Amino acid sequence: MVFAAPGEALARAEELLAADPSPLHASVAHQVIGIWQRDFGDTRRALAQLRRARDLAARADSAEREADVLATLGVALVHAGRTRAGLAAFEQGVARGSGHTRARVLYRRAYVWWVLGRHGEALEDVRRAIPVLRQADDVIWTARALTLRATVHLAQGSVERADADFTAAEALWDTTGQEHDKADAVESRGLAAFRSGDVPAALRLLDEAEERYAKLGTPTFMLTIRRCEVLMAAGLATEALAEADGAIAVLEGIGGQSTRRAELLLVAARAARLAGEPQTSLARAAVAVRLFAGQRRTWYETHARLVLIEARAATGRGSGRLVADAATVAERLAAFGAPAAPEASLLAGRIALDLGWTADAERHLAVAARSRHSGPPLARMTGWAAQALRARAAGSARGVLEACRRGLDVLDDHRMTLGASELRARATAQGAELAALAQRASLVSGGPRRLLVWSERWRATVLSAPPTRPPADPVLLTAMTAFRELAARAEETRSDGGRPAPALEREQRRLEREIRSRTLHMRGEAPGDGDRFDVGRLLRRLGDEVRLVELAVLDGRVHVLLCGQGRVRRFEAGLLAEAEAEAEHVQAGLRRLAHPGAEARLPLVEAAGARLQHLLLGPAAAHLGSGPVVVVPPGRLHRVPWALLPALRERVLSVSPSAGSWLRARDTAPPPGGRQVLVHGPGLASGGAEIPELAERYGAARAPEGGTARHRPPGHEYGPGGSSPEARPSDTEAEGAGGRPPREGAARSPGGPDDRPPGHGYGPGGSSLDARPSGTEAEGAGGRPPREGAARSPGGPDRRGGPTVLEGDEARVPTVLRELDGAALAHIAAHGTFRADSPLFSSLRMADGPLIVHDFERLDRSPYRIILPCCDTARFASVGADELLGLVTALLPLGTAGVVACTAPVSDAAVVPLMLALHKGLDAGLSLAEALRDARASLPGDAVHQATGWAFTAFGAA
């Protein structure tokens, strides 16, 4: 009962002791209290209770009772860090017990061997225990022994054997009422899923185990350790560090197990190293090494030494001594059969290479490279990284590129098993070294084209395939609704000059965690991405007029790859660190210019723009030609206001996360019907002044305040099938109502992706590859409306009775999402909030609360064009190797071909004329980039309006 219902067991034991029991029964009660204190409380009190239980068992003259207590005492002593005394207690217990009791003692000693990292002894003891436990028909202890054996198999990398034992144990647990052990089985299955490379399943199972433990009131320190391991593999090292440090503080506060503290310190050290905090890693690892050594836990001590060496290497302390230490650790880990052995060999080889010790490096790297053909994905990645370094040391650029290609292919396959876009983005960090090695090799041997290919190989890969749609999970949908309501209440409190109640903020954070957690559980739908980047195709699409400028960063310096006129040229520009610092200065200047009275700063901001141009474009600025320019910056330069650079200020300018994503946007056909949606959120200083004029321009009959907007037919709900209580219309009905295009595989109307005319539009007047079709042809093919002055088809663009206007109480998240799904153009005037701590909770404020990125991911198809005249909507979090998380990057894989968004806070009043001019250009048949260029030119020349124009960027190719 102490595991199934610990609180009740403790109360029953204390009640029994109060009744003056016999020594035999008192021994049982003290043992129960000792187990409770050992696992849930103070280890010192646990030892006192268990010694009392042992003495009472001796008084009762029960050898079997004494053997059982000695086993429990042995576990407690080992967890307290007193390994020698603990093993001595087990020796006595094995000697005193017999038959069934001895089998239970052997099982617990096997558990201690596992804690100590002595896996051979653990398997031997559990091998002796299981037949006896089965013969005695002891279901609970047999299931525990099978679970333990499976866990030991996992520690040795034997996933198949572990699966067999977990399956057998689970069948036994189903026949018992041991809820704690059932939770432990779920946790163990989560560990098995992780070891086999299934990160979403691991997170789901560990979260389920945590819920089960919470119902029992059971501490979850071991679960925290395992969850941190999975978080690190998923690229969430900062979160893992926070969880581990939090658990350490709780454990120290209750005087908990020394063994668990050491394990948590080891996890925290690894997380800190991966999070880029080598000094923190050093501190945690040094304490862990000391604790493990004192506990005689050589297996764990060796793993902690590996992290300590990695942290020292990360601080730039490479030395011959460090190579020797890493080699020694690698040998010990290999002797243990630990999966981390190749990682240690790779570390030794990498340090030796940095020292110029090529012979030593080759020896260690050859050992590490053996892991490239088997094991879980990250282990194979280690092997391919070692192989790439071997090829580089041998001077074989071809060998480097082949190893990098094979390694990144492994990681590609692994990423596509992850459903959540956040996990896909963060997982790319595992390939950062391979991508950098390949780029360096390309720079030396392959020329600009090859460098472009490798720059694209690992840039914005998350945008290469749509994210997995969130499931129609009632719990998830309920949590999102509750989160929105709480966020709206909190915002209302802040608007009234107060601060939300702490309980409200805590509940809001809890709901955020639940939403994010359930999203991370999603598995990927596609086995891989076959859409490889083709330089020739890019150059053909660019033609002679358009230039694409891709910025690659190698060893801290910006290299400009200028694409156009059938060739790729490379130019060297400035240092990335200097460009980042200058971009921050420019952002600060734009923030000041958003307010009246800062006119004197305008020349300073313009001068900073010129400095940025020198750092980012260098001599390439003189070779941009006179046509449109597409800029593809690295993730760390996402905050640059590109329109401020002198060479780009008067141009048709768009920005794309990668050349590949620009090509995909170019090939995205607009939906039939040309449906427009205008949304006006609450609290804008301008009052959404552009919305009435835009509604009039597009011919809408505006809904009265709080009235009913024109909607699509009933049942046409956003999200995947099943998210609405009403039946969805057929594809034909949706198209007939100007809805989304048919689902994949259904017949498309003319102008779908396969029917788009060649050269259909980057911009007017020769900015496209080929001559653009006439207005009638363009419209008939589902393209954008013709240019101003061109012949229109009768009635102009097909607007299906004008746009949908949502304002006041109509601008609620479910309604907005329903209308946005499959629209041709959406204009959302609402306050934007960027969440650097959790970018997928970045939001647009609607009448009923925030519209977050997770909401957009539920759309079947996001609008073809989206205009976001809101502050900070073009801000992103840079994660992984070169990935961006934010509102714009969430829209691009979902069917949006073009976005206009803002990189800085702007004046609401100054935004209105910019937006009206922008829509005037769109109505004349211009692309977003063309219309934005003309809109900037139409603004007044004062500082506020100029800064507002520079703050907006056109993304994509629509």
Burial letters 862-871, b for 16+ CB under 10 A, else e = bbbbbbbbbb
Q: If you average pLDDT over residues 778-800, what whole number do you get?
A: 35
Distance CA 660, CA 662 (A): 5
Query: What CA–CA distances, in Å, run from 140 to 29, 126, 174, 539?
Result: 20, 14, 10, 67
Structure tokens at 693: 């004029």
* DSSP H/E element including 952: strand 952-956
Residues forming a β-bridge with 558: 553
Q: How many CA atoms lie within 13 A of 439 on its CB side?
A: 23
Three-state DSSP at 98 gives coil
User: Is 621 in a helix, a strand, or coil?
Assistant: helix
Q: At residue 754, does pLDDT exceed 50?
A: no
Residues 918-938: what's their mean pLDDT?
94
- Distance, in Å, from the CA atom of 900 to the CA atom of 870, rounded to the nearest integer, reads 10
Cα–Cα distance, 577 to 787 (Å, whole number): 42
Strand-strand pairing, 653-655 and 629-632: parallel
- Indicate whether 313 pLDDT > 70: yes
Q: pLDDT tier at 702 (50, 70, 90 boundaries)?
A: very low
For residue 32, the one-letter residue type is V
CA distance 307 to 285: 6
All residues at 6 or more sequence positions from 463 whose CB lies less than 8 Å from its CB, including other chains: 657, 658, 660, 661, 664, 889, 892, 893
- SS3 of residue 53 by DSSP: helix
Q: Which carries the bigger pLDDT value, residue 841 or residue 291?
A: 291
Indicate the pairing of strand 832-833 with strand 952-956.
unpaired
* CA gap 553, 455 in Å, rounded: 9
Three-state DSSP class for 899? strand
Answer whether 918's CB lies under 8 Å from 953's CB.
no
Tens-digit pLDDT profile for residues 175-200 = 888 888 888 888 988 988 888 778 88
DSSP 765-785: TT-SSSPPPPHHHHHHTT-PP
> Does 755 have pLDDT greater than 80?
no
Q: 655 near 641, Cβ under 8 Å? A: no
Pairing of strands 865-867, 653-655: unpaired
pLDDT at 525: 63
Tell me what the pLDDT averaged over the chain comes to.
83
Rounded Cα–Cα distance for residues 858 and 862 (Å): 9
Closest CA to 7 of 42, 40, 43: 40
Please give the structure tokens belonging to residue 217.
């009131």
Tokens of 903: 């990189």
- State yes or no: pLDDT of 758 exceeds 70: no
Count CA atoms closer than 13 A to 541's CA, side-chain side: 23
pLDDT for the residue numbered 469: 66
Q: What whole-number distance in Å separates Cα of residue 104 and Cα of residue 94?
A: 9
Q: Rounded to an integer, what is the distance from CA 864 to the centroid of its chain?
A: 25
Task: Give the model's pLDDT for residue 730.
Answer: 36
Which of 348-362, 537-551, 669-683, 797-811 has the lowest average pLDDT?
797-811
Region of 431 please: left (phi>0), alpha (psi -120 to 50) or beta. Answer: alpha
Encoded tokens for 286 = 């040094």
Q: What tokens were used for 151? A: 């866990």
Exposed e or buried b for every residue in 692-728, given b needs 16+ CB within 10 A?
A: bebbebbebebbeeeeebbebeeebbbbeeebbeeeb
Give the list of residues 6+ apart from residue 359 with CB closer than 8 angstroms, or none.
none
**CA angle, residues 228, 234, 238, in degrees to nearest 5:** 55
List pLDDT tens digits, range 604-657: 999 999 999 999 999 999 999 999 999 999 888 888 999 999 999 999 999 998
Paired tokens of 469: 């749609």
Q: Which residues pair with 370 in a beta bridge?
A: none
Q: What is the CA radius of gyration of the chain?
A: 32
> Helix or strand or coil: residue 205?
helix
Contacts of 830 (CB under 8 A, 6+ apart): 679, 680, 681, 682, 684, 811, 844, 845, 846, 851, 870
Higher pLDDT, 470 or 550: 550
Beta bridge partners of 845: 850
Percent of the chain beyond pLDDT 90? 50
- For residues 132 and 100, the answer to whether their CB atoms sit within 8 Å is yes
Phi, psi dihedral angles at 495 (to 5 degrees)? -65, -30
Residue with tokens 């990144």: 408
User: Is the CB of residue 162 less than 8 Å from the CB of residue 150?
Assistant: yes
pLDDT of residue 461: 64
Specify the pLDDT at position 105. 96
Looking at the chain, how many residues does it have? Answer: 958
pLDDT for the residue numbered 726:
35
Q: 870: Cβ–Cβ under 8 A, 6 or more apart, which residues?
A: 828, 829, 830, 831, 832, 844, 901, 902
Helices 179-195 and 199-216 cross at an angle (nearest 10°) of 160
649, 653, 601: which is closest to 627 by C-alpha? 653
> If residue 850 lies in a helix (H) or strand (E), which one and from where to where?
strand 849-852
CA-closest candidate to residue 3, choices 184, 208, 172, 226: 184
Residue 911 has pLDDT above 60, yes or no: yes
CB atoms within 10 A of CB 428: 24
At 206, which helix (H) or strand (E)? helix 199-216
**Confidence band (pLDDT; 50, 70, 90) for 783?**
very low
**Do the beta carbons of residue 230 and residue 194 sit within 8 Å?**
yes
Q: What is the 3-state secondary structure (H, E, C) of 320-388?
A: HHHHHHHHHHHHHHHHHCCCCHHHHHHHHHHHHHHHCCHHHHHHHHHHHHHHHHCCCHHHHHHHHHHHH
Write down the number of H helices and E strands in the chain. Answer: 39, 16
pLDDT of residue 155: 85
pLDDT band for position 294 (cuts 50, 70, 90): very high
- Predicted model pTM: 0.75
Q: Going by C-beta distance under 8 Å and a sequence separation of 6 or more, which residues neighbour residue 174?
A: none
How far is 288 from 833, CA to CA, in rounded Å?
A: 41
Tokens of 268: 């925290």
423 token code pair: 């996990």
Query: What is the percentage of the chain residues whose pLDDT exceeds 70?
Result: 86
Would you state the pLDDT for residue 746? 34
pLDDT at 361: 94
**How far is 74 from 112, CA to CA, in rounded Å?**
8
